[in-house]
């Protein structure tokens, strides 16, 4: 039975650190019996998990302001009783962090300045995307150079706040929290950073990602980039951050791809343009349409879907070139996709072909590993071979003669990998290169790795950066 006070009272998330006399880990939801992220009603003590099945994961404050009182009490505890202990732990952490981040490179000792991201409850999908984006230098540097936005002042300035929905939506900024997260990475001052403030903003502005269920990393990436783009267009607190992009001639001068209005750093870096050609098979009428994109979703050809490893002997290995060719090859549309021919004035059989009219500075390739069947979403676990350097995109261009050869070559910057069998389960990690070295990002754990390990990964999302100068002749 659901809690009768869910619509009129308030629920808080129990934390064992704040409830020393209780045992929140033993509590379970009274509806679905889940013990993951339980919430307790302050009026009747009913426990719920906050899943979509149980509906409300938090509701507004009571008339007596009970949640505000709890929040203030928790803040007082944190800001007084634990201040000295926090300073002591920070010093110990800094010393242990420095020692643990030393490695041997060419016989000498070097420090790993990479910082992991703590898992806040099935948030590996977010962590893998954030780590990948943090290693795309031009994109990351733009946000890190933005001026900070002071969202709080007075008594709450610089102090942790305990958020509920009653605080409203006008006090959050995705761009600001994204900037803070990027600034926290690669400083080397801590082994792991908790992106809880960013995740809170994600909950506020992206309802699809509320709760603690596993999510699709590609879907999250698209929502993140789209919302960053929209906020950069509109600015925050009346200050337009798009103005900073206009001052950066290196980005704005060459960018002609605008999605949903004016250009921002998102479209300047990830934006490309596709030309979609459709030909009527009855009268030969040709229709052309230009579509902007931030990433390309590529099917894994069906003939390779049983090939699960690089060393498996039953047939050739699927390559990224095979996936790109499948995406751009001429395709006859089936009966469910008949084309409305304006000349024939009725739906006719037709062919479709994609050309890339404009390549982006960062080419994001999403391999479609999840497919719906009659009852569930299956994973295509096929190994796809991909190059670390020299991905040549010239043959997929509409007008390759207008692009110099060096502007068609891409080098790999990051890879997102899904481990497991289904989109709603499993685990996400990322590989990324930083200052010539490859790292593996597994939530709060960051390890140095090598190219041989990276190329064996079953990639889900690949981030390729346009090569700026000639640096070798190896191509895909």
Show me where the domains of the chain are located.
Answer: 1-86, 118-146+172-229+262-267+361-469
For residue 286, report the phi and psi dihedrals to the nearest 5 degrees: -110, 135
- How far apart are alpha carbons 335 and 355 in whole angstroms? 23
pLDDT at 177: 93
Q: Has 427 been annotated as catalytic? A: yes
Question: Spelled out in words, what is the top-level CATH class assigned to the domain 118-146+172-229+262-267+361-469?
Answer: alpha beta
User: Model confidence at 258, in pLDDT bands (50, 70, 90)?
Assistant: low
Q: What is the DSSP letter of 142?
A: H
Cα dihedral sign, 348-353-357-362: positive
Per the residue annotation, which of 124, 140, 257, 323 is the catalytic one? 124
Q: Residue 274, CB half-sphere, CA atoms under 13 Å: how many?
A: 17
Summarised one tens digit per residue, pLDDT across range 159-170 is: 444 333 333 445
Structure confidence by residue, pLDDT tens digits, 308-350: 665 655 668 899 999 999 998 888 888 888 888 888 888 888 9
- CB-based contact 354:278 (threshold 8 Å): no
**Confidence at 228, pLDDT banded by 50, 70, 90:** very high
pTM above 0.85, yes or no: no
Q: Which of 42-46, 302-306, 353-357 has the highest mean pLDDT?
A: 353-357
Overall average pLDDT of the 1-18 stretch: 45
The pLDDT mean for the chain works out to: 76
The verdict on whether 280 is a catalytic residue reads: no
| Sign, Cα dihedral of 440, 458, 330, 313 | positive
């Amino acid at each position: 039975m659901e809690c009768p006070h869910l619509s009129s009272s308030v629920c808080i998330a129990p934390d064992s650190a704040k409830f020393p006399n209780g045992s929140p880990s033993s509590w379970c939801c009274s509806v679905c019996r889940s013990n993951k992220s339980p919430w307790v009603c302050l009026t009747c003590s009913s426990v719920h998990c906050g899943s979509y099945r149980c509906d409300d994961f938090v509701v507004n404050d009571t008339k007596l302001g009970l949640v505000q009182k709890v929040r203030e009490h928790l803040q007082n505890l944190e800001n007084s009783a634990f201040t000295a202990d926090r300073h002591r732990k920070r010093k110990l952490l800094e010393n242990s962090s420095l020692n643990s981040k030393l490695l041997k490179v060419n016989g000498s000792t070097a420090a790993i300045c990479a910082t992991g991201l703590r898992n806040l409850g099935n948030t590996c999908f977010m962590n893998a995307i954030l780590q990948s984006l943090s290693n795309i230098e031009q994109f990351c540097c733009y946000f890190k150079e933005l001026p900070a936005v002071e969202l709080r002042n007075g008594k709450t300035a610089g102090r942790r706040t305990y958020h509920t929905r009653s605080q409203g939506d006008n006090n959050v900024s995705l761009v600001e929290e994204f900037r803070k997260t990027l600034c926290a990475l690669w400083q080397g001052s801590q082994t792991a950073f908790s992106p809880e403030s960013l995740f809170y903003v994600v909950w506020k502005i992206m309802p699809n990602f509320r709760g603690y269920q596993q999510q699709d990393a590609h879907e999250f990436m698209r929502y993140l980039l789209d919302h960053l783009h929209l906020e950069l267009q509109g600015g925050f607190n009346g200050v337009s951050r798009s103005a900073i992009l206009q001052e950066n001639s290196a980005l704005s001068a060459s960018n002609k791809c605008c999605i949903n209005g004016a250009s921002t750093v998102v479209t300047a870096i990830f934006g490309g343009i596709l030309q979609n050609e459709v030909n009527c098979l009855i009268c030969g009428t040709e229709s052309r349409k230009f579509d902007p994109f931030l990433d390309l979703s590529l099917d894994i050809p069906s003939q390779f879907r049983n090939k699960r490893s690089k060393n498996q002997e039953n047939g050739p290995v699927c390559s990224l070139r095979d996936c790109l060719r499948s995406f751009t090859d001429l395709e006859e549309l089936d009966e469910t996709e008949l084309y409305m021919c304006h000349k024939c004035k009725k739906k006719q059989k037709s062919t479709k072909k994609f050309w890339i009219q404009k390549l982006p500075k960062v080419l994001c390739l999403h391999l479609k590993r999840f497919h719906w069947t009659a009852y569930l979403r299956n994973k295509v676990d096929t190994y796809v071979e991909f190059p670390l350097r020299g991905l040549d995109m010239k043959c997929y261009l509409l007008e390759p003669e207008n692009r110099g050869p060096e502007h068609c070559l891409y080098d790999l910057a990051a890879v997102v990998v899904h481990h497991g069998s289904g989109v709603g389960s499993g685990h996400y990690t990322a590989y990324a290169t930083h200052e010539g070295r490859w790292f593996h990002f597994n939530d709060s754990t960051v390890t140095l790795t090598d190219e041989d390990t990276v190329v064996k990964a079953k990639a889900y999302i690949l981030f390729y950066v346009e090569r700026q100068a000639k640096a070798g002749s190896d191509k895909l």
